[in-house]
A and B are shown apart, each in its own frame.
Chain A
Amino acid sequence: DQQVKQNSPSLSVQEGRISILNCDYTNSMFDYFLWYKKYPAEGPTFLISISSIKDKNEDGRFTVFLNKSAKHLSLHIVPSQPGDSAVYFCAASVLGGGSQGNLIFGKGTKLSVKP
């Protein structure tokens, strides 16, 4: 049973436009969410995170929105650049409790930004 779902395997966007990557989760215990970017043959690189007490977190061109009632979060990249082309993973964790913060990942969305 997949607790973190990224339903779009791929997304293609024109340079300069907005990229919106979506993520849904099923476990209402999740209270910390992260986005990672991954290039081929490299490890995931942390991008941005959000705690469940917030509904928005912004860092430069990257903004993450969290809708707890819908169990949905999204990553907005504005403006998109060709160097943003990568696979983006959504991850969630339960802080405290027995899981000790291990991350549950979605399957990823491959973003292609065309010049």
Chain B
Amino acid sequence: NAGVMQNPRHLVRRRGQEARLRCSPMKGHSHVYWYRQLPEEGLKFMVYLQKENIIDESGMPKERFSAEFPKEGPSILRIQQVVRGDSAAYFCASSPLPGGPSDTQYFGPGTRLTVL
């Protein structure tokens, strides 16, 4: 997973605050996916973005969560008014091209969000 950068690695927020998680994809990758992993669970898809476009947000909670991937800069996953249930590891993955054998997604190290 070298190459996909996520920051911060650890983030502590109090209930009601905002959390911003950043992801820079691997060089040459223009497709970004966000996943969430709760304790003792597998990763759950949240949202898929290309530059300036949200392609699939079917896994994203309808309220408080948003994501963007601007033309310049990293992809941002934003959680407003965090609650304790948002505590999880959030992983970003990137791929060069979806929908084909080269669709392998490469993951970053994750951001561990703790809501107090």
Structural contact, A46 and B105, CB atoms closer than 8 A: yes
Residues of A within 8 A of B55 (CB): 100
Q: Are the C-beta atoms of A95 and B43 separated by less than 8 Å?
A: no
In the complex the two chains form, is A103's CB within 8 Å of B40's CB? no
Asked if A43 and B4 make an inter-chain contact with CB atoms under 8 angstroms apart, the answer reads yes
Interface centre among A43, A100, A104 (most CB of B within 10 A): A43
Contact across chains for A101 and B1 when beta carbons are under 8 A apart: no
Residues of chain B in range 24-73 having any CB-CB distance to chain A below 8 Å: 33, 35, 40-45, 48, 55-56, 59
Contact A102 B110 (CB under 8 A): no
Q: A6 CA to B100 CA in the complex, in Å?
A: 25
Nearest-Cβ distance from residue A67 to partner chain B, whole angstroms: 20
Contact residues, A36-85 vs B (CB, 8 A): 36, 41-46, 49, 51
Q: How many A-B residue pairs have CB under 8 A?
A: 79
CA distance A47 to B106 in the complex (A): 10
Residues of B within 8 A of A30 (CB): none
Task: Assess the B43–A89 pair: CB atoms within 8 A.
Answer: yes
By CB atoms of chain B within 10 A, which of A4, A89, A101 has the most?
A: A101
Give chain B's interface residue range (CB within 8 Å of chain A). 20 to 34
Shortest distance in angstroms between A1's beta carbon and chain B's nearest beta carbon?
A: 13
Tell whether A25 is near chain B: CB-to-CB under 8 Å.
no
Residues of B within 8 A of A43 (CB): 1, 4, 6, 91, 93, 107-110
User: In the complex, A34 Cα to B103 Cα: how many Å?
Assistant: 10
A100 contacts B42, C-beta separation under 8 Å: no
Residue from B104, B106, B109 whose CB has the most chain A CB atoms within 10 Å: B104
* Contact of A28 with B by CB under 8 A: no
**Contact (Cβ within 8 A) B109 A100:** no
B75 at interface, CB cutoff 8 A: no
User: B residues touching A (Cβ–Cβ < 8 Å)?
Assistant: 1, 4, 6, 33, 35, 40-45, 48, 55-56, 59, 91, 93, 95, 98-101, 103-110, 112
- Please give me the 8 A-B residue pairs with the lowest Cβ-Cβ distance, nearest first: A105-B42, A43-B107, A101-B98, A102-B45, A107-B42, A105-B43, A43-B1, A101-B103
Tell me the A residues contacting B by CB distance below 8 Å: 4, 6, 32, 34, 36, 41-46, 49, 51, 89, 91, 93, 95-96, 98-108
